[in-house]
Amino acid sequence: MPAIRDAFEEQGYYVARGLFRPDEVAALAADFDRIVAQLTASGEDVDATWDGGQAEKIARPGDVILHTHNVQKYSRIWLNAFLNERFLDVAEAIIGPDVVLHHSKLFQKPSENGSPFPMHQDWPYFPTLHDSMIAGIIHVSEASDEMGCLRVYPGSHKLGRIKGSDGRRENAVLDRYPIEGATPVECAPGDVVFFHYFTLHGSMPNRAAKTRKTVLCQLYAGTDTVEPGNTHPDERMVLRGWNHGLSRKAAGEAA
């Protein structure tokens, strides 16, 4: 699929429209809601709203976003989604034949008060030695701009690593790329947005009457590895191909 790779290399993101069939989306949505119900009943703090000045510029008091890591640990149906051949075909077109799951995370942006995410890059949170990390956002609901869909700056991945670009602090470079000027990537259920972890991205609040439901899957090439010392959860689960850098010690580590 050279066209996918070419588009991704030029834009820093790629939208796979209708990648999951309606029957698959229905099953994923049902387990998504079941996970949310379990989290809500747990009494844990599951609000992932960011703090900091950047978030405060676009949020308002009372905004929330429900979140958990690693939905594949809750649901076999969600593990099946990450093993879906169509999903992995696109991932392979972008990062090559060896595809490793770093982690996944569920985000539910409730209607009317769903929290935003300020413009940022992902690499500060889990840098890899060869910068192969990408994300794939699986949509199980509609995601319009009013609902706080993903916004990106096409081609911004070519900026490389921007120091202090985690979105939680003031940053002169990010100030040149305000979220209001970013391109909305509106999606339908079953669409998947893949983007590089250098791509500047964020999302506005959900002020619509509908809830936005997505699961984000972080993937890296099996020829790459997370930088030593990083403590972010790293599942190291091979979804396709081989993990060339794995050792006995690393295979047994929790992170």
**Which domains are present in the chain?**
2-252 (2.60.120.620)
- Distance of CA 115 to CAs 107, 129, 254, Å? 10, 32, 30
CA angle centred on 51, ends 208 and 172, rounded to 5°: 100
| pTM, rounded to two decimals | 0.96
* 217 — pLDDT class (breaks 50, 70, 90): very high
Q: Phi and psi at residue 161, in whole multiples of 5°?
A: -75, 120
pLDDT for 243 beyond 70: yes
* Closest by Cα among 153, 125, 163 to 12: 153
Q: Report CA torsion sign: 233, 237, 242, 246.
A: positive
Per-residue model confidence (pLDDT) at position 255: 55
When pLDDT is averaged across residues 156-172 and rounded to a whole number, the result is 93
* 150 — pLDDT class (breaks 50, 70, 90): very high
pLDDT for 254 beyond 70: no
pLDDT in tens, 45-55: 999 888 887 88
Please name the residue that has the structure tokens 């972010």: 232
Longest dimension (CA), the chain: 49
- What the block records as the tokens of 240 is 């396709």
Q: For the chain, what is the mean pLDDT?
A: 95
* 59 — pLDDT class (breaks 50, 70, 90): confident
Answer yes or no: are the C-beta atoms of 202 and 65 closer than 8 Å. Answer: no
